[in-house]
Structures are given as structure tokens and as C-alpha cells.
């Protein structure tokens, strides 16, 4: 990694974009219903992405994402061709400004890796199949979402993803390295760590193991998985499923997505609980659950609304 800062990298990428001849990701085409609005994919820790209905990948970075009130850099145009995927999840990579994307369609599970330094895709954007749709945790897929990256100590690395299948089973996965350049799934990837997750509209998670799940009545429930780094247990903290809010689906805001903002490991207490939401008007909002560790229903903005920090996201 060069000595360039996140600000300089993204400013340069946003200014040059496609004019710089950035590699466009190769995709494996598969039939799917056309997307009619933007897909918002939060990679956590300031990394946010929009996939347009036409398949363009636009990357943003928010300063002071811990409070949700920082300015944005972007968008940087990171290629096209993503419209062929039914599900996309992203995760910022430890101690770099890179991002890994896990993309799923009927032909398989594919990994793409954005290298921020040279502003290009690994493998010249070629599709790298990292799993089949019959592999453990990927069959009958309903949801895939980021579980973040643990930056608390240098020896903890890898990017965690979770999947939920059509029967409500929850699976843990961790990917290490770069797809196509020696990257691989860590031990226990594809291991089932829970059941009963099928009734939720939105599920999101952070690197501390904190999960937020919203059902079709708008009720938000809290969970904390105790082994988010290793995926070796089925253990959850006390009071799993504790109700911590209402109105998170439908209701006055009509949220179209709810996603974790990530964990600030520079804070001695692992500052967590931040959430990005897109409301029915397409506005991006931010809120923070203060007691992410034990699940008390304490919020920075108790009404569930939170400030509008961007417009036109969906």
C-alpha cells in the first residue's frame, strides 16, 4: 500500500473514473429479473456502494461514519456489469483501502476485489468463482450480507459474510486474500450457526457479532453471535431476539434497506451500533444503537428516524 490517504485515493478515482480506463469486471451472465432501482451495498467503516439498475458500481466513502455526519467523497466509477447478479455483498479489507465483493447469480458465487492503490480490479476484472450454488451455506440462497472485518489486532484478518437460505438457516463464512490471487475460504466457512432467520425483511451484522434483524411488522430485534471471527460455535449472547425498536419496515419512514455502518476498532470499546438506512423517499439516514453489546433499546435518535445524510440513494 502506498502512502496515499483514503481522501487522495478516492478524490483521484472520482475525478478520473472511467476516463482512466479502469478495468470493467467481467461477469457471468445469468437470467434474472431486471432491477428497477439502485441497490445500496454497505461495505462498512465508511465504504458505501450503489449498484445502478444498469449494473454500474459507484463507490462512496463517508468521513466520520461513526457519527454519520461526515462529508462524502465520490462517487468513483468502479466499472459495470453487476446487473447480472441477484445478490451482492461488500466488505472493506483490513489495513488497506481495498474492497472485496461477493456476487451471486444462478451460475455461481463470484468474488471481485477492488484495489484502491492502482484503482483497478484484481484479475483485470475477470469473474472468479469462489463457490458453487450447491456449496454449504450457498444453496437455496435468500440473503447474503457483510459481517465486517475485525481490526482489533493485526493477526485477525479476513472478511466475514453471512448467508441465510430459504428455510431460514444462518451460515458463517470468512474469505481471506484476493479471489484469483491465492484467496480462499477460512476453516468453518459454510458452517450453520443458527436457524429461524427466514422471517426477516432485513438482516445486518457487524464484526463484533452484533446482528440487527427487522421483521415484516417493522420490529427490530438484537442478537450477538459470540464467535464472529472463527465461526466455530453456535453460541449467542444472553437475550437473543430482544426487541429494540419498532417502525423499521413500513411505518413513517418506509425503510428500503437497513445495513451496519461497521466497527471503529480505534475506540477502546469497539465503537459499534451505527446503521445506515434508506427511507421511502430514497434518502440515506443514519442512527446508532448505543448498547450494541447487551441489547438495551437505547438509541442516539430514539424515534428511529435519524438525520438525512444523503438524497437519491434509491
CA dist 224 to 98, 177, 188, 235, 272, Å?
Answer: 27, 26, 18, 9, 12
What was the pLDDT predicted at 76? 87
Sign of the Cα pseudo-torsion (48, 35, 83, 175, in order): positive
Residue-wise pLDDT for 239-251, tens only, equals 999 999 999 999 8
Residues with Cβ within 8 Å of residue 212, at least 6 apart in sequence: 202, 203, 204, 205, 220, 221, 222, 244, 258, 260, 275, 289
What was the pLDDT predicted at 22? 32
pLDDT averaged per 10 residues, the chain (length 314): 36 39 49 79 93 95 90 89 95 82 97 91 93 97 94 68 98 95 96 98 96 97 96 97 96 95 74 92 96 95 90 95
Domain ranges of the chain: 6-18+36-310
Distance CA(146)–CA(195), nearest Å, equals 18
What was the pLDDT predicted at 19? 30
- Phi/psi for 15 (5° steps) reads -75, -35
* 10 sits in which H/E element: helix 6-16
* 149 sits in which H/E element: none
- State the CATH architecture for 6-18+36-310: 6 Propeller (2.120)
The pTM for the full model equals 0.90
Residue 196 in grid coordinates: 429461524
Number of H helices, E strands in the chain: 1, 22
Residue-wise pLDDT for 94-128, tens only, equals 767 789 999 999 999 999 999 988 889 999 999 89
Q: What is the DSSP string of 37-101?
A: SPEEEEEETTEEEEE-TT--EEEEEETTTTTT-S-EEEEEE----GGG-SEEEEEEPTTSS-EEE
Distance CA(190)–CA(292), nearest Å, equals 25
Q: What is the CA radius of gyration of the chain?
A: 18
Give the 3-state secondary structure of residue 262.
Answer: strand
CA dist 72 to 57, 61, 90, 275, Å?
Answer: 16, 6, 18, 16
Amino acid at each position: 500500500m502506498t502512502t496515499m490517504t483514503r481522501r487522495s485515493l478516492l478524490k483521484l478515482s472520482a475525478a478520473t473514473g472511467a476516463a482512466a480506463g479502469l478495468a470493467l469486471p467481467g461477469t457471468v451472465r445469468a437470467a434474472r429479473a431486471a432491477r428497477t432501482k439502485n441497490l445500496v451495498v454497505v461495505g462498512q467503516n465508511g465504504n458505501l456502494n450503489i449498484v445502478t439498475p444498469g449494473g454500474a458500481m459507484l463507490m462512496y466513502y463517508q468521513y466520520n461514519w461513526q457519527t454519520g455526519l461526515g462529508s462524502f467523497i465520490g462517487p468513483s466509477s468502479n466499472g459495470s456489469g453487476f446487473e447480472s447478479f441477484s445478490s451482492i455483498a461488500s466488505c472493506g479489507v483490513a489495513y488497506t483501502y481495498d474492497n472485496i465483493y461477493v456476487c451471486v447469480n444462478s451460475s455461481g458465487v463470484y468474488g471481485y476485489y477492488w484495489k484502491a492503490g492502482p484503482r483497478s480490479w484484481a484479475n483485470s476484472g475477470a469473474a472468479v468463482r469462489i463457490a458453487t450454488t450447491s456449496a454449504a451455506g450457498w444453496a437455496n440462497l435468500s440473503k447474503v450480507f457483510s459481517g465486517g472485518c475485525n481490526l482489533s489486532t493485526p493477526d485477525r484478518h479476513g472478511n466475514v459474510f453471512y448467508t441465510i437460505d430459504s428455510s431460514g438457516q444462518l451460515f458463517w463464512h470468512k474469505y481471506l486474500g484476493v479471489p484469483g490471487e491465492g484467496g480462499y475460504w477460512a476453516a468453518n466457512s459454510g458452517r450453520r450457526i443458527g436457524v429461524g432467520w427466514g422471517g426477516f425483511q432485513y438482516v445486518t451484522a457487524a464484526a463484533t457479532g452484533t446482528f440487527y434483524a427487522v421483521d415484516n411488522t417493522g420490529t427490530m430485534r438484537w442478537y450477538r453471535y459470540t464467535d464472529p471471527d472463527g465461526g466455530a460455535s453456535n453460541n449467542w449472547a444472553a437475550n437473543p431476539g430482544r426487541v429494540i425498536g419498532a417502525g423499521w419496515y413500513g411505518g413513517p419512514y418506509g425503510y428500503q434497506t437497513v445495513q451496519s455502518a461497521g466497527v471503529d476498532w480505534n475506540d477502546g470499546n469497539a465503537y459499534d451500533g451505527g446503521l445506515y438506512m434508506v427511507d421511502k423517499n430514497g434518502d440515506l439516514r443514519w442512527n446508532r444503537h448505543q448498547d450494541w453489546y447487551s441489547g438495551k433499546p437505547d438509541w442516539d435518535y430514539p424515534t428511529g428516524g435519524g438525520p438525512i445524510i444523503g438524497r437519491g440513494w434509491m
